Amino acid sequence: MTKPQPPLSLPRIAAGDLTSDLDLTVPELQTLLRLAADIKRHPGHYRTALSGRIISLLFEKPSLRTRITFEVAAKQLGGDAILNIGPIGGREPVADVARNLERWTDLIVARTFDQKTVDDLARFASIPVINALSDMYHPCQVLADMQTLREHWGCLENRKLAFVGDGNNVAHSLMLNAARLGLNFACIIPPGYEPNESIVAQAREFGKTTGADIQVTNDLDEGLKDANGVYTDVWASMGQEHEAAERARVFAPYQVNAGLMAKAAPGALFLHCLPAHREEEVTNQVIESPVSVIFDQAENRLHAQKALILMLLDGPAR
């Protein structure tokens, strides 16, 4: 019979929330990635870490990976999760939602249309709040992405990741974390779909410290040169369905196919946050190729989010 594990003593995230990627300091980010790797290797060591803890899952948008991995994470750590699907702050103010949930549960995970909703939850709740996707950021996805790249490359320094497509929330989070971890990053987008200028400026400031080169370009050849990884996302995110036809026309030259992958470094990995629209932003040939690591990314959502939860909470309920 396996002996029960003692309560864990883990580093805490000083900000107390993860509303954006920048709520994690660089040392905390590095610690989280190491912890995620350890959880993946030794899941049994953490099986009672959240005993008695309950996580609230608030989802305004559809979800497979985020919803399932947070539910599984809570249960595999000895706690539980409760899901609510629908608008946040529709029937009552966000402030009231936050102050109700803090009385019943230990942590809020929110997937929202508007970054302000996440910020307001964190402002009014005395318990930690995690951004599980907003219009500005997708930090949980990118924690898993960085874990995946470290597994395949060993380290991130002197490597280059190219993101091809819309300058969206995934591009923002990738750019910020790449810059802070010393990973060169190119965002390759059609004219008019560039990422948020202030986020680009922030990333470039971080790059001055770490040596990461942050590039924004419309030119595929320029952006893909020497890229060790190629990342894409859907052309029309949730809430942009009315733009789908126009975006399909504009983004067609940026489809990730065999010809585009050939512009990157030999053996470059292919990444996608999923769900993928096969034969739109990426061909089936690339998705099913040996360089595709999309399901490694999906698996690592579980491990990275376990690490994040543990660094926001201080062990089992007392």
Contacts of 230 (CB under 8 A, 6+ apart): 161, 162, 164, 224, 256, 260, 261, 264, 268, 269, 270, 271
Over its C-alpha atoms, the chain yields an Rg (Å, rounded) of 19
d(CA 143, CA 72): 17
Q: Which of 141, 147, 255, 305 is catalytic?
A: 141
SS3 (DSSP) at 240: coil
The residue type of 127 is I
The residue type of 247 is R
Annotated active-site residue 172? The verdict is: no
Ranges of H-type helices in 22-124: 26-41, 65-76, 94-104, 115-124
Q: Which of 120, 145, 273, 297 is catalytic?
A: 273
The number of angstroms, rounded, from the C-alpha of 2 to the middle of its chain's C-alpha atoms is 34
Contacts of 285 (CB under 8 A, 6+ apart): 257, 258
Element containing residue 282 per DSSP (H, E): none
Q: Is residue 183 within 8 Å of residue 157, measured between CB atoms?
A: yes
Annotated active-site residue 301? The verdict is: yes
Q: Is residue 77 within 8 Å of residue 47, measured between CB atoms?
A: yes
The residue type of 243 is E
Ranges of H-type helices in 125-196: 139-153, 169-181
Q: Which of 21, 23, 166, 233 is catalytic?
A: 233
Q: Which of 53, 65, 67, 138 is catalytic?
A: 138
Tokens of 306: 């376990």
Give the position of tokens 């790449």: 178
d(CA 108, CA 123): 12
Annotated active-site residue 111? The verdict is: yes
Annotated active-site residue 138? The verdict is: yes
Give the position of tokens 């230990």: 106
Name the residues annotated as catalytic: 111, 138, 141, 233, 273, 301
